[in-house]
Structure 1
Amino acid sequence: MPHTPRGPEPITADPPRDEPRPLLTQSWLDLAFLHWAVDPADVAPLLPPGTAPDIPDGGEGATYVGLVAFRMHRIGWLRLPGIPYLGTFSETNVRLYSVDAQGRRGVVFRSLDASRLIPVAVGRAVFRLPYVWSRMTVDRTGDAITYTSRRRLPGPRGAHSRIVLRIGERIEEPSALEHFLTARWGMHSALLGRPMYLPNTHPRWPLHRAELTGWSEDLLAAAGLRAPAGDPVSVLYSPGVPVRFGRPARAGEPSPR
């Protein structure tokens, strides 16, 4: 069983570190964040070795599952310019919230649906991430934005999501929970059977209130989670941020600086 660290790192809206020699660069644009509270016991078996469900203070013992849809823009390696076509696509991911024995908070991806086949193949082969090839669109008209996704390969074929938001006012002072759900400065995964932590940095999230005017999905069930029993407890929108990923660290190692 993974063990909870004695002292998780503080939740900070601003990045705790810089990445002067990035492994990857990219931008995340037009993001929809949908979140449901879940029992930590339900998600613990789905996390990589060495991690445990992250539970926010005052969260009444719950952790969260997120459905996040957005536009990936210009993935680049090292300091090379981002790739305009192959590195630009729509994506929808299902993610959990994790903390490791070093106290590092992060996310764990249960699935990443993306509309560009070559990045899907690279993500699966190189980073061992659960990317899947899907047909996806992100359409905006005024303050209304619609995200659609339908899975192609490797399946289950037809797994889908549809999110329709009306973008509201800018949040000047996000709540502690809103910071917990968005200000995540790393990713936990396993590479060749060994726990791995991949740090990232980006400017503080510009967050907006959002009204969920329509949604349907079965990506959570396809990712091994219970289907939501009701509407999400948190719905947010962000126009996006530029992101830099640092070098990965193995379990027991500090994050590269």
Structure 2
Amino acid sequence: MVSLAAEQRVRLPALAAGWLTQTFVHWPFRTDQVQRLLPEGLTVDEYEGAAWVSFTPFLMADVRPAVLPGATPGLPTFPETNLRTYVRGPDGRDGLWFLSIEVGNPLMLAARAVGAPYNPGRLSLTHDGDVVRYSGARRGGSPSYEVAVRPGRPLTPTQRDVWLTSRWRAYTRRLGMLWETPVEHEPWSLRAAVLERFEETVTRAAGLPPPEAEPVVHFSEGVRQVRMGASRPLSPSRPAH
């Protein structure tokens, strides 16, 4: 069951970071359209009979090895944009599978070693009055996106809001195996949001058809106490706990 608060403590984190100024743009898709993009061992996690895909631009802040004290500066803040979907692993537990990750800091490309699909590019995040603007283009110029979002009132999260925004593990694939990375942070503080501009080719590049429904949009000022654990390989028969 998806929960607002972290499902587990990450007692020995590998990395610490903040995820700030985050917009979530979510669409429902037919389950078969998403399942065909997943590796063996993962199945689509449905909500109300649909698979969901989320486009999430944000700022990565103060990324550093967790062994360093909190007062130690991490990497300079930089934009990142994820295209992700919601899955269940071999043991039935819910998590995220990243269809693509666009990043403006080349140092993050080291995460490809654990199977994360990072793509280098030129990304920006700016403020224009009450509007937050995100833009990016992968190296070579495509795919790309231009997004302008106007945050609105604070939300008391519904069950769907929590389901779409709160996940406490991510899956990757490398060396022929699935790997699980646990995550812990404070609950998201969500606001309603309106898209004033949204143009992107990232979903098409990932192998998805055009969305058939209007998106659900959220905004958050972010979470600052993100603790990411070390990735561990999964056995198809590993029991849930």
TM-score of the aligned structures, taking structure 1 as reference length: 0.86
Q: 1:236 aligns with which of 218, 228, 238?
A: 218
Partner residue of 1:249?
232
Q: Distance in 1 between matches of 2:240 and 2:229?
A: 9
Q: 1:23 aligns with which of 5, 10, 14?
A: 14
Partner residue of 1:5?
none
Quick check: 107-116 or 47-56, which moved more? 47-56
Contact residue 54 and residue 98 of structure 1 kept, 8 A? yes
Q: Distance in 1 between matches of 2:213 and 2:146?
A: 15
Q: Distance in 2 between matches of 1:255 and 1:248?
A: 17
| 2:152 is equivalent to residue 152 of structure 1 | no
Structure 1 residues not aligned, in runs of 5+: 1-9
The number of equivalent residue pairs is 235
Contact residue 218 and residue 227 of structure 1 kept, 8 A? no
Contact residue 105 and residue 184 of structure 1 kept, 8 A? yes
1:144-175 CA distance string (max 9 Å, x none): 1000011115xxx421111111110111x211
Q: Distance in 1 between matches of 2:240 and 2:174?
A: 16
Contact residue 48 and residue 189 of structure 1 kept, 8 A? no
Q: Which of structures 1 and 2 has the larger relative contact order (alpha carbons within 8 angstroms, sep 6+)?
A: 2
| 2:126 is equivalent to residue 139 of structure 1 | yes
| 2:52 is equivalent to residue 64 of structure 1 | yes
How is 1:155-170 mapped onto 2 (pairs within 5 angstroms)? Answer: 157-170=141-154
Q: Distance in 2 between matches of 1:146 and 1:35?
A: 17
Contact residue 29 and residue 212 of structure 2 kept, 8 A? no
**Secondary structure at the residue paired with 2:60?**
strand
Partner residue of 1:227?
210
Question: What is the one-letter code of the residue matched to 2:52?
Answer: Y
**Secondary structure at the residue paired with 1:23?**
strand
Question: What is the one-letter code of the residue matched to 2:211?
Answer: P
Partner residue of 2:81?
92
**Secondary structure at the residue paired with 1:19?**
coil
Contact residue 199 and residue 255 of structure 1 kept, 8 A? no
Q: How much does 1:63 deviate?
A: 1.2
Q: How much does 1:49 deviate?
A: 2.1
Q: Distance in 2 between matches of 1:47 and 1:74?
A: 31
What's the C-alpha RMSD, in Å, of the aligned pairs?
1.7
Mark the CA change 1:191 to 1:115 in structure 2 (over 3 Å): closer, same or farther: same
1:160-206 CA distance string (max 9 Å, x none): 111111110111x2111111111100101112110111110110100
How is 1:85-234 mapped onto 2 (pairs within 5 angstroms)? Answer: 85=76, 88-120=77-109, 122-124=110-112, 126-152=113-139, 157-171=141-155, 173-232=156-215, 234=216
Q: Distance in 1 between matches of 2:167 and 2:8?
A: 12
| 2:68 is equivalent to residue 77 of structure 1 | no
TM-score of the aligned structures, taking structure 2 as reference length: 0.92
Q: Distance in 2 between matches of 1:255 and 1:197?
A: 13
Partner residue of 1:7?
none
Q: Distance in 2 between matches of 1:182 and 1:174?
A: 10
Q: Distance in 1 between matches of 2:137 and 2:230?
A: 32
Q: How much does 1:254 deviate?
A: 6.6
Question: What is the one-letter code of the residue matched to 2:123?
Answer: M
Q: How much does 1:143 deviate?
A: 2.1
